[in-house]
């Protein structure tokens, strides 16, 4: 039955011959109401198809049962997985999720976060692109807030994958296969996870005097991987570490077009282990970022914050090295 105009608490009260407060108490399961009366109110409420207006409740209670998620790009598979994990975890606790896609417009991030925060109980910043200073300045006004994939923060718990360790595993894997000259497709400039990757590379170079790593600028998507093919081939390397799986796949496809065989002539590794990584040919060696879990854990941190937990711990998840067919021994 469709109710053109929804019933209000006043109408229910009148229909049941009681006061507003009684209806409110009954609807909120307050046990200090006479059983028979409560039953009558429930019946009337059911007949009228009544349930409390969430907006009015939000205004008076000061909570909306909603959190906002600010994402740099809804088209990025890793963020999609994070969002999915987060959304389902939140839904399990009866929370709604408001999404805000900044479409990689760094300047929009703070605006979106601040704006969405006002209609929600908290905001989750997913891999914000803004500078460390901007982030630090923004956080206090957003509380409660949790941040995904940035270094630990003073004013917010953090949930992140350990990109440094993941990259270290990838390099070790390649080095173990005899590769000594490797290209790194470095992705977007300000990325925090990019800095972590680079740190791992520096450490590897320090540990192995005979390891050369050539950094080649790139973007973070398919096309930038494909576009980098000439530079990669010119760099005379035997293996390449792509910024992420998307870049790796773009490169894979471009080198295939040139008749170069992977991994016989060139090894290529990605990062993230997006759902499609196993379906390329050859399947992609990568470091698996547990995106869905990251999303779930971000919700859990938010949930703890909302519950008033004083010190919510930050969490770091180590990516797992996934060796598939796109990497192999250095060509002789």
Note the residues at the interface with a copy of itself (CB under 8 A): 1-3, 6, 51, 53-56, 58-59, 64, 66, 74-75, 80-81, 83-84, 87-88, 91, 96-101, 103, 116, 118-119, 140-141, 222, 249-250, 252-253, 256, 275-276, 278-281
CA 232, 328, 201, 277 dihedral sign is positive
Residue 8 interface partner, choices DNA, a copy of itself, none, CB cut-off 5-8 Å depending on type:
DNA
- Least CB distance from residue 270 to DNA, whole Å? 48
Of 14, 42, 48, 52, the one binding DNA by CB under 7 A: 52
Q: What is the C-alpha to C-alpha distance for residues 291 and 77, in angstroms, rounded to an integer?
A: 9
If binding is defined by CB under 7 A, does position 56 make contact with DNA? yes
Residue 98 interface partner, choices a copy of itself, DNA, none, CB cut-off 5-8 Å depending on type:
a copy of itself
Strand (E) positions, the chain?
Answer: 66-71, 96-101, 123-126, 145-148, 158-161, 181-185, 212-216, 239-241, 267-269, 286-288, 315-317, 320-322
Helix, coil or strand: residue 67 = strand
User: 218 with 229: CB under 8 angstroms?
Assistant: no
Site string for DNA, 58-77 (x = CB under 7 A): -xxx----------------
- Least CB distance from residue 160 to a copy of itself, whole Å? 21
Q: What is the C-alpha to C-alpha distance for residues 166 and 287, in angstroms, rounded to an integer?
A: 6
- Least CB distance from residue 2 to a copy of itself, whole Å? 4
- Least CB distance from residue 3 to DNA, whole Å? 12
Residue 249 interface partner, choices a copy of itself, DNA, none, CB cut-off 5-8 Å depending on type:
a copy of itself
Question: Closest Cα partner for 79 from 245, 276, 292?
Answer: 292
Q: What is the C-alpha to C-alpha distance for residues 225 and 244, in angstroms, rounded to an integer?
A: 9
- Least CB distance from residue 45 to DNA, whole Å? 10
- Least CB distance from residue 174 to DNA, whole Å? 57
Burial of 57 (0-12, 13-18, 19+ CB in 10 A): middle
If binding is defined by CB under 7 A, does position 53 make contact with DNA? yes
Nearer to a copy of itself, 208 or 324 (CB): 324
Residue 258 interface partner, choices DNA, a copy of itself, none, CB cut-off 5-8 Å depending on type:
none
Of 27, 100, 142, 269, the one binding DNA by CB under 7 A: 27
- CB count in 10 Å sphere of residue 306: 17
- Antiparallel, parallel or unpaired: β 320-322 and 286-288: antiparallel
- Antiparallel, parallel or unpaired: β 181-185 and 286-288: unpaired
- Least CB distance from residue 191 to a copy of itself, whole Å? 21
Nearer to a copy of itself, 2 or 206 (CB): 2
Residue with tokens 């994939």: 149
Burial 7-32 (b: 16+ CB within 10 A, else e): bbbebbbebbebeeebbbbbbeeeee
Residue 24 interface partner, choices DNA, a copy of itself, none, CB cut-off 5-8 Å depending on type:
DNA
Q: Which residues bind DNA (CB under 7 A)?
A: 8-10, 17-22, 24-25, 27-28, 32-34, 37-38, 50, 52-53, 56-57, 59-61
């Amino acid at each position: 039955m469709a109710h053109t105009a929804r019933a209000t608490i006043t109408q229910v009260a009148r229909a049941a011959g009681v006061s507003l407060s009684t209806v409110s108490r009954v609807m909120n399961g307050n046990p200090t109401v006479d059983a028979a009366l409560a039953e009558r109110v429930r019946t009337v409420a059911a007949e009228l198809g009544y349930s409390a207006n969430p907006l009015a409740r939000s205004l008076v209670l000061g909570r909306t049962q909603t959190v906002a998620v600010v994402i740099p790009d809804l088209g990025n598979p890793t963020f999609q997985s994070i969002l999915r994990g987060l959304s389902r975890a939140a839904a399990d606790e009866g929370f709604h999720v408001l999404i805000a896609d900044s479409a990689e417009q760094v300047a929009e991030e703070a605006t979106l976060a601040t704006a969405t925060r006002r209609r929600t109980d908290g905001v989750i910043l997913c891999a914000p692109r803004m500078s460390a200073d901007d982030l630090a300045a923004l956080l206090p006004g957003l509380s409660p807030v949790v941040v995904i994939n940035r270094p630990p923060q003073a004013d917010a718990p953090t949930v992140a994958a350990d990109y440094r360790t993941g990259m270290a595993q990838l390099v070790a894997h390649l080095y173990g296969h005899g590769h000594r000259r490797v290209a790194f497709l470095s992705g977007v400039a300000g990325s925090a996870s990019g800095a972590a990757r680079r740190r791992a590379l520096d450490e590897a170079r320090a540990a192995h005097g005979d390891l050369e790593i050539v950094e080649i600028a790139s973007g973070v998507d398919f096309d930038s991987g494909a576009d980098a093919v000439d530079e990669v081939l010119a760099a005379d390397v035997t293996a390449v570490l792509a910024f992420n799986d998307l870049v790796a796949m773009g490169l894979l496809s471009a080198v295939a077009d040139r008749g170069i065989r992977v991994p016989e002539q060139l090894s290529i590794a990605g990062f993230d282990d997006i759902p499609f990584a196993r379906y390329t040919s050859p399947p992609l060696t990568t470091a698996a970022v547990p995106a869905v879990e990251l999303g779930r854990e971000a919700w859990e941190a938010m949930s703890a914050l909302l519950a008033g937990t004083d010190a919510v711990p930050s969490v770091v998840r180590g990516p797992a090295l996934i060796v598939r067919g796109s990497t192999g021994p250095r060509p002789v």
